[in-house]
Amino acid sequence: MSRRLAALNLLLRTLVKPRLERTAGPQEALRDFDLSSRWLLRRPAGIRHAERPGDLHWISACPCRPDRVILYFHGGGYITGSPYSHEGLIARLSRLSHIEVCAPAYPLAPDSPCPAPFNAAVEAWTRCRELGYLPENIALSGDSAGGGLALSLLGWCCEQGEPPGCAVVFSPWCDLTMTGQSLRDNADTDPYLPVDRMEELVALTLGKAARDDPRISPLYGRFPDCPPVMIHYSATEILADDARRMAARLREFGGDVALREHPDAPHAWPVFDGWIPEARTTLREAARFVQASLGAIRR
């Protein structure tokens, strides 16, 4: 573990996690996240960020291949976050892979619970297809809730008979039934997420959907003809078992899954790119995976 990561874990444990434990509700959480992301989530230089029809944000930070795209879904527990808050991570992934990123501003709970985020994800996929991107030239990606949303969309695409080229996700939230053992085992070791607020978050997010609805709990989805998938997670986070069980589920359908465990990083640590070297290392590996899967390696 780098000294910077140790310092970040201490900061999250002593300041951020207690704040999350006592946040009054989703509006306060959204306000806090928007404010903190402005200084805590760094952005590389040279970002190009364009808003286009369909609430789609097109983000890059270098010359990119015109025939490939990464469809990225931001995290935030379905109640916070936006393509702007995650602009730094997204732009860095674009720069490392030399592929432009399309990031939907999907609707958030509690105003727009399930299936609104999933429907927006399908619409974003459909728009990319209408723009001429072939399924095999599209990578799905996301972090936390956005990682779960990317995997829900992956299942839908596979069921439709047009799987994407690959998917790469960071600390995905895959199971709103909350049956993962790590929710209990890692309640104290997770430096970031307070487990005692998760049930409240589930209630805000579900709407009238069942907890095991694959549109929000991809662990219960189907993935015929599954493409290559890479999953990054931390051994100490409360959602560790979501990642492990999701990998096993994808393998049931013949998926080639690269499961990457970090021993002691915070939940969705790539968002801290620019602060900790572990974030850049993970993003480099993810970019290489996307390039190889989409046949987009630069010569």
- Residues serving a catalytic function are 144
| Residue ranges with strand state E in the chain | 48-52, 56-60, 65-73, 99-104, 138-143, 166-170, 229-234, 257-262
Are 204 and 27 within 8 A, CB to CB?
no
Pairing of β 99-104 and β 65-73: parallel
CA distances from 98 to 95, 280, 294, 296 (A): 5, 15, 12, 8
Catalogue the long-range contacts made by 11-15 (C-beta closer than 8 Å, 24 or more residues apart).
12/191, 12/192, 12/266, 13/191, 13/192
Q: Tell me, what amino acid is at 271?
A: V
- For residue 166, which phi and psi values (nearest 5 degrees)? -175, 175
Please tell me what DSSP assigns to residue 196.
Answer: G
Q: Tell me, what amino acid is at 27?
A: Q
Environment class of residue 80 by beta-carbon count within 10 Å: exposed (0-12), middle (13-18) or buried (19+)?
buried
Task: Report the 10 Å Cβ neighbour count for 163.
Answer: 23
CB proximity list for 179: less than 8 A, separation 6 or greater: none
Edge-first strand listing for the sheet containing 257-262: 48-52, 56-60, 99-104, 65-73, 138-143, 166-170, 229-234, 257-262
| Exposure b/e, 111-129, CB count within 10 A at least 16 = b | ebbbbbbbebbbebbebbe
